[in-house]
Amino acid sequence: MIQHFVAFQAMKDDILNQIEASRQVIINEKNKDDPFALVVDGKALEIALRNDIKDNFLQLAVTCASVICCRVSPKQKALITRLVKKYTGKMTLAIGDGANDVGMIQEADIGIGISGMEGMQAVMASDFSIPQFRFLERLLIVHGHWCYKRISKMILYFVYKNIVFGLTLFYYEMYSRFSGDVLYDGWYMVMFNLFLTSLPVISLGVLEQDVSSDICLQFPALYQQGQKGIFFSWKRIIGWMGNGILTSLVISILNVYVLSPSAFRKGGQVVDIAHLGLTTYTTIVWTVNCQIALIITHFTWIQHIFIWGSIFSWYIFLLFYGALPPEYSKREYKLLIEAVGPAPMYWIVVLLVVVISLLPYFIYMVIQRSFYPMDDHVIQEMKYGRKVVVDDEMWLREEKSSRKPTQIGFSARVDAKILYLKDQLHRKKMFIIKSIANSPIRRSISTNPLENRD
Amino acid sequence: MDQKNKNSKKPVYSKFSQQELPAWKPILTPGWVIASYITIGALFIPIGLLAWTASDSVVEIVDRYDEACVPDDFSKNPQSYIQNPNIKKTCTRSIKVPKKLVAPIFVYYQLENFYQNHRRFVKSRSDKQLRDVKAENDTKFCLPVAYDYDNKPIVPCGLIAWSLFNDTYKISTRGKDISIEKKGIAWKSDAKAKFGSNVYPKNFQKDGLIGGATLDESIPLSEQEDLMVWMRTAALPTFRKLYGKINTDIEAHDTIKVEIQNNYNTYKFGGRKKLVLSTTTWIGGKNDFVGMAYISVGGICLFMAINFILLYVFRPRRLGDPSYLSWNRHPIT
C-alpha cells in the first residue's frame, strides 16, 4: 500500500513538473501568435484530473490552441468536458460517433452525434446528429447563426405584440373606472394569439435568413454575433418593450380621439363599446402584422401569405361572426357589414394608426442602417446592392479577414508560419533599404556637393 | 450509378426543406428611405386636408343646460328640485346659429361623467328577454331591477333600461316649430333582430325608485327608438346619443328656441348634460383631430425626407463599404 502511495505521489509530482515546464515554455515564447498543442494520454490524464492539480492542468489546457487526449476512457471524456465547462464557464460542444462518446455528448451543453460506422448510440444520446463530420461546419456557421437570429427576433417580437395587445385593454380600464369591463369581445381575444398573429411569427422563426447559406460559410465572422450575444441584449429587450408600450399608447389614444364624441358616419351615428373595440382591435392587428413585415428580411411567398392572410382572415372572421344570430354574436351582430365597414373613418383610422405606430421603429432602423450598420447589413449590401460593382478582389479579401477571429477553416499553424515568414521578409527589406540609405556612395550622390567639400 | 441510388440515404431535395425558396430581400438603401418618406407625406397631406375641410364644413352647436335650467332658489340644492314631481321642469334656452345648418341636422344629447361602460351597468340587461316574448322571466343578470312588488317580471329589465334618458326637446325658430323626426335613429339590426316586434314593455318603472323615462306599453320594443339607442352602451364617460333628426335647413344668424323638459337627474353624481345640434359629412361629425393628425404626420415625414436627403449628401456612406465591417474597424493583428 505504502509503495503504491509513494509511487503515486512520485507520478503526481512528475506531472505537476511537466505542466509547470510547459507553462513556462508558453510564457517565454516571443511570438505571441504561435499556437501550441497539448498532447495527453489517458494514464496521465487520470492523475492530472484529480482535484488538487486539475486547476493547473486546465489553466495550461485553455491557453493551448488545441489539446489532444489519446487513449482516454469514456468516463474521462465526460469528466474533461465537465471540468472544462465549469472552469471556463463557456458554452461547450461535444461531437462523437461511438458509444464511448455518449458520456461526453451528454455532459456538454451541445452534443452532436455522428451516425454511421459505429452505430446509433451517439445519435440517440445527442441533441443534433449529422451523418458526416464535415457537416459540423455547416451546422454551426449556417444553422447556428440563423437559429440565433431567428430565436432572438421571434422572442422580442412576441413580447412586443402581447404588450401592445394587453396594454390597450388596460388603458381602457382607465376610461371605465377600473370596473373590469373588457373592451374586446371574448372571441377576439381568443383569436389574437391563436390565428391572427401566430402564423407570421412561425414563418419568421422557421424561414428567416439574414444572409444566404453560402455567404454564412464564406464569412464565418458573422457567427461571432451569436457568441457576443448582440441580438438579445438587455438594450434590445427594453427597446422592444418600450416600442410596445409606445405603440399601445398611440393606438389607444388615437382611437379614442378620432372616434368620439361626435358621429363617425354620415348617418349621424355615434360609436359605442362594440365599435370602439372593433376599431381598436383592427388597428392592433394591422400594426402588429406590419411591424413583423418590417423585421423580416427574407420574404418568401410563405411569409407574404401568412402576414397578409392573417390580416385578411380577421375581416373574414368578423363577417362570419357578425352573421351569427344575436344569441351568439351579441354585441358584434352585423357589426362590420352594417355599422363599421361603410364608414370611411374606420379605414382612415387604421392607416393613421399603423403609420404613426411604426414610425419610431422605422426611423431607428433607417438611422442604424445608414450610419451604424451591422456586419450582416454591410455584407447584404455588398452582395445585393445593385449599384455596387461586385469587386472580386475585395470580396476575397474580406472573406479572408473574416476567418481570422474565429479560426474556422483556418490552420493556425500555417497562418503563424506565414506571418513569421512575412515578418522575416519585412525585416530583410528594411535592412536592405537602410543599408542602401546609409551607404557612403548614396550619401555622396544625394547630399549637397558644396556641403561635402568640407 | 445504380448502386449509389439504391444505398443513398440522402433526403429528397426540395427548395423548402433546404431553405432555398426564392425570396425577396429588401435592403433599405437611401433611395428607398427617401422614397418611402415622400410617399407617406404625399399620401397623408391630401387626406389630411380633405378630412380637415370636411370637418371644417360641419356646423356643431353645443349648449350646456343642466346648470342653467335649475331655478335660482334651488341652485344650491338641485337634487330637491329634480326629485320633486310637483315642480314644472320646463326650461327654455336660446341658441344663436353661427352658420347655416343644412339638413339633415342631427340632434344629440351629450352626457358627461356618466359611466355607461361600468361593468356592473353593462351586464345589467337581458338580451333574451328583449328578443323573445316567451323569455320574459330571463332576468338573472338584471337584479335588482328584475321584478316589481307583485313579483312580476319587468320588461325590459336591468339598470340600463331603468336609467333611460328622459329629457325632451322642442325646437322652434322664428316662431315656427321645427319637427324632430324620431324614427330611424336606432341601428336597423337592433330593430330587426335584437328587439322583438311582439315584445311590449310590462311593469316598467312602476315601483320603487324611478330611474328615468317610462315607456308606452302599447308600442313594441322594436319601435321604441329611444330605448334602443340608450341600450347601446357608450364606450366612454363622455358620450352623445342620437335624439332625433331635423329635415329642414336652419338659416345662419337665426336664434333657436329650445324648450327642454329637464327631467333627468344628473345632479346626484356630478354629471353634465348638453344639447348638441350637428350636421355631418363623409367623416361624420366635427372632428378636427383626424385632419390635423394626418397633416402633421405627413409634414413630419416630409421633414424627415428633407433631413435624410441632406444627411446623405453631406455624410454619405458608400453602399457596401467594407470599412464598416467589425473586423476591419477593430482589427485583430
Tens of pLDDT, residues B261-291: 988 989 888 899 999 999 999 988 888 999 9
Compute how many other C-beta atoms are within 10 angstroms of the C-beta atom of residue A431.
10
**What does the alpha-carbon distance between residue B153 and residue B138 come to, in Å, rounded to a whole number?**
9
Alpha-helical (H) ranges within A183-233 are 186-191, 198-207, 213-218, 224-228
Average pLDDT, chain B: 87
Total beta-carbon pairs less than 8 A apart between chain A and chain B: 224
The enclosing H or E element of B241 equals strand B239-246
Q: What is the pLDDT of residue A453?
A: 45
Which residues in chain B are contacts of A261 at CB distance < 8 A? 110, 236, 238-240
Threshold 0.90, pTM exceeds: no
Compute how many other C-beta atoms are within 10 angstroms of the C-beta atom of residue A319.
14
Give the residue on B whose Cα is nearest the Cα of A332: B189
Of the partner residues B280, B297, B312, the one whose CB lies closest to the CB of residue A355 = B297
Task: Report whether pLDDT(B2) > 50.
Answer: no
Of the partner residues B40, B51, B284, the one whose CB lies closest to the CB of residue A266 = B284
Q: What is the mean pLDDT of residues B71-97?
A: 86
Kindly determine whether residue B120 and residue A260, on different chains, have CB atoms separated by under 8 Å. no
**B193 DSSP assignment:** I
Q: What is the pLDDT of residue A406?
A: 59
At position A9, the amino acid (one-letter code) is: Q
- Name, in order, each residue with C-beta under 8 angstroms of A78's C-beta and a sequence gap of 6 or more: A103, A104, A106, A107
Q: What confidence tens digit (pLDDT) does each residue in A419-454 have?
A: 788 888 888 888 888 888 887 777 777 655 554 444
Which residues in chain B are contacts of A338 at CB distance < 8 A? 187-189
Of B168 and A423, more confident: B168
**What does the alpha-carbon distance between residue A275 and residue A291 come to, in Å, rounded to a whole number?**
24
Kindly determine whether residue B293 and residue A260, on different chains, have CB atoms separated by under 8 Å. no
Residues in chain A where the model's pLDDT stays below 50 = 386-390, 451-454
Which residues in chain B are contacts of A375 at CB distance < 8 A? 325-326
Q: What is the mean pLDDT of residues B197-226?
A: 87
β-pairing, B90-96 with B60-64?
unpaired
**What does the alpha-carbon distance between residue A113 and residue A126 come to, in Å, rounded to a whole number?**
5
**What does the alpha-carbon distance between residue A152 and residue A233 come to, in Å, rounded to a whole number?**
9
Asked if A230 and A410 count as a contact pair (C-beta separation under 8 A), the reply is no
Adjacent-strand bridge partners of B256:
B95, B173
Q: What is the mean pLDDT of residues B236-252?
A: 91
